[in-house]
Amino acid sequence: MEILRKFKLPGRSKSPIFVFTATGLAFTAVTGTATAVSVFRDSPSNKIATAVEGVVRSSRAIYAISLTVADYKYSLRRLPADSDEYLQRLNEVHSRSARRILKLCESNKSFYVKAGQFVATLKLVPTEYSLALSSLQDQAVPCNFQEIKHVLTSNLGQNLTEIFSSFNEEPIAAASIAQVHHAVLKNHQEVAVKVQYPGLKQNMKLDTMIMSFLSKSVAKIFPEYRFDWLVYEFVKSISQELDFIQEANNSERIAKNFKHNKMITVPKVFWELTTTQVLTMQFCKGFKVDDVESLKSNNLSPEKVAKVLVEVFAEMIFVHGFIHGDPHPGNILVSPGGHNGFSLVLLDHGNCKTLDEGFRRDFCRLWEALILLDSNKIQELGKQFGVGKYAKFFPVIFTGRTSESKSGLGKGMSIQERQKLKQEVKLLRLEDITTFMGSLPPDFLSVLRTDGLVRSITLKLGAPKRTRLLAYAKYAVYGLDYKPPSESDFVEKSMISRSVMLMSYLRLRLILEVMELFQRMKKLKHTIYGFYGQLINGITNSVKRVTCSV
């Protein structure tokens, strides 16, 4: 609290401006919303209750963010940015702030949990934040079934007994914006019914208004702390997820893109039982993709599953240009059986992204350059992506090595490379990171988030880093020459395209293997020279000792 007084930031109970701000934003959001989903929330008394709750939630957010900004400002003051003490203090502030933001998300729930999950998947945020906020992935409290039932009947226009022969009132899954129930239709078809929580649009308007207000306020006080791009991307993402009609369309588009791939299953949509707030799909059995014990008990290789997973998402990114934006383990199931022993079931298509065609092709070129460590090409593409000098960090972000690396693909960095990188990172300030992130095209941020989630799953499955890198390289090469064939000549053109892709990929692999062979020969040469030098020194010393004794 001493920090707050010195900095003249509002305390929890001492600033009327603090309370008025929260109150004004809450009432603006509530009264400016057209209608809530549930009739239980439409009465004036409930609107007032919602506004009061909004004041409490807004106050928590304003207090937590104000304290966090003050913590960074005063904990790091007068410390040289390139000093070890600065880095140590910065890590301590990161840890404190991450715990503070986690507590805020847990207290405010709803879209704050969703926002925390969103930030946790961005691998460019400090590790302390991604580790702390990743615990929010499984934190969702199911809604009372009576309210869920009202959403169902008001959207479907019938009583549940008229549509379903059975409907399990206990949800089989719960997330921050919806929960899923297992049911059986009158024709004995098993379905999964996803139901949106009532009053979400009202809450979203308030929560995103507060987030936007805070990000702009922080940016005005401290220009180096710019996170408005993060709020913008989150609001855009969550707005799409609240429209289940859009999610159903996304699901069918992904199903069409992979209809010739027997390793992929996308649940069928029951359109007659789908609205903006209710989504009814085919029920698919399986277990989470990162459940290693279940994989092994079903005699499935975790590495093989990881290989299929990365190839699926590589094809989405580099070829289709239409990506599933939230591939956390709960949204990808492994279903044992079939010709290849298993298939991947892709769920929850609310957060999908259509990539700009120019971006898709440039991203293919970037990955080809990353694999070959073509620093000139990486820098050139960095200018096109709008990040300028920061493009030199692309190899570290995506492949785990620098552009000057002497290590083989997937081998990481040498000790010397790590030390050099550490010195470069020391010179980076927080405003450098926020400038870099804010300069990236929105498509880049979407891909970065998806790649981060896929990477964490493959890591848990124990797949070598090289598996992901080579899969991305293969589909990047394929994506450069890809033109979607028409339905009539799909088979013929698809075979030709894949043949061209294979030849291009083999060429890339040959170049890569030759590069790594030269690196190994260099290392062998240095080893032989070192051994030879030690041998000569040993012989010389022995001769000297013999001469001296004589």
Paired sense of beta strands 173-174 and 190-196, if any: unpaired
For 292, the token pair is: 């290693």
Could you say which of 291, 326, 348, 443 is catalytic? 326
- Please identify which residue in the block is written with the tokens 């053109």: 493
Adjacency order of strands within the sheet including 287-288: 264-265, 342-346, 332-336, 287-288
Chain center to CA of 165:
38
Cα-based torsion angle of the residue sequence 524, 530, 531, 534 in order, rounded to the nearest 10 degrees: 180
H helices present in 269-338, as ranges: 292-297, 302-315
For 509, the token pair is: 């692999």
Active site residue 71: no
Instruction: Round to whole Å and give the CA distance between 288 and 452.
Output: 17
Whole-Å CA distances, 41 to 45, 107, 112, 119, 150: 9, 21, 21, 30, 12
Neighbouring C-beta atoms of residue 206, cutoff 10 Å: 26
* Identity at 200, one-letter amino acid code: L
| Bridge partners of residue 180, in order along the sequence | 173, 194
Instruction: Round to whole Å and give the CA distance between 273 and 279.
Output: 7
Q: Tell me the residue ranges of DSSP E strands in 104-249.
A: 164-167, 173-174, 178-185, 190-196
Select from 98, 152, 156 the least CA-distant residue to 128: 98
Whole-Å CA distances, 22 to 11, 81, 126, 307, 528: 13, 35, 29, 49, 71
What are the phi and psi torsion angles at 427 (to 5°)?
A: -80, -10
DSSP state of 411: S
Instruction: Round to whole Å and give the CA distance between 290 and 527.
Output: 41
Instruction: Round to whole Å and give the CA distance between 532 and 248.
Output: 68
What are the phi and psi torsion angles at 165 (to 5°)?
A: -80, -25
Q: Tell me the residue ranges of DSSP E strands in 331-403.
A: 332-336, 342-346, 352-354
Q: Which residues are catalytic?
A: 326
